[in-house]
Structure 1
């Protein structure tokens, strides 16, 4: 049996770690904090990597370092190699487990992900999950820059670096403070058009979906407030400041407990897709694959439609 060929490596994990940290942070000063080294040591490691490869990896734009074509080519390979190195370290580090990094938009992160992670940890007691909850735009960026292993978003977005796959159906509903006298039957679109609305901020999946459904039907929206979380919208609506349009997942408990009321409308059903996001060029690790299978199984068990109260639209 021939002996395996051994090549002398020109690259080191330290150099690749510095490169990935700089790509995420945008400067060697910020990257130095992430890798626990001095700025000068970080700059030297990055310069050594570029010298070993014979190419530059960043363009200097003001004080920021921005990945160029070479850097974008290297990033998924470097991130994958560092993940594998962490897995190797964990093999010989007692109880240490490499955490799964999940980025999630607010509706999913606040109302669905806690149940999913609890179920996952029940099946895998030693599993660790780092959950970052942000708006949809930030989740896409987190997965694209490989700060997260997988992402969960609201809506059918596209990104050249990402794969976006259908996961679960969701439905938006209109809510108001309890006790508002709407009269008998469904509220007319004319009355809804005259109402003040409390909405999520631009860039959130919920806001994008609400605008897509409401503006064509009502002609315009009179905005009272734009807020950065579902809970803030719910509190403002419950205080009587206006109507809200949120996921049924986000409001069902508040409606059940009576501090929000679902408004019957003549609007068509406002359904949207919740999706799973992964990077096109970075392989999904075994832990992430198992977690995604768990999430897919949970979604199938829920059925394709949210459980709205009987008779509601």
Structure 2
């Protein structure tokens, strides 16, 4: 269910004498992180970027299912055996993920980490997997088998071989945490962009709002919309770079954790809102749900706005977003 994102920050104007803007690109959580900080001087900006990197590293060492010493790895090792006590931070993140699973009816599921990777999106697939192979690939997936005990702060996976992972939420959670940390430290503006899970605050040094460009999924070298960020976070999930075609039908790299089949029908889903973590959950879920069910879900989330682009170029967006086109 790992998303593929294409958002471009649009910078305009020049820094004022009172503020400077510094940006650094690093690899964290196995992904690209672009960190931008606006401060009164270059040294302060660079030091704050160091702080952000340290915080993302801390989170990775807490929730990664690839690092064997993390609490999530301990939970996975004890699947079907015993509950594992975790920090309140890890418990709360898992609890929010389960809430997303519930309201999306399983279109989002953190136990997708146990899914067999039978679909290949590197050009090597020549035929569809058999229905039996697809069914078997999701045998150990199912958020209903994750048991949380809030009083004891424990997580228990009922089935042996089950796994949970935060590949679909971790970068967004880290971006949100770093934004809140920087605000608490008096940093008035910046961006933490974790592999397209983007949290922003404040404005550019010239006073203009942060602005993003959204890729046209039918013509990937062009931007079809430039939008000022009125809300602090934005995430895009898309299928237009990683997909396979069988009998003229596009199958996205985002897999439905209930069925084991790739998502179809939507090329791009962008979600704006107060939290990159939650926006990521919605964008991934809507790719799986498709246009009709996805719009129904998003219309129940008043704090979040959206842009959906179908495989045939139709555009559906929140009424208050400045998007005039209805087809690419």
Q: Does TM-score exceed 0.5, indicating one fold?
A: no
- Tell which structure's C-alpha radius of gyration is larger: 1
Whose strand fraction is larger, Structure 1's or Structure 2's? 2
Q: TM-score, normalised by structure 2?
A: 0.21
Whose helix fraction is larger, Structure 1's or Structure 2's? 1
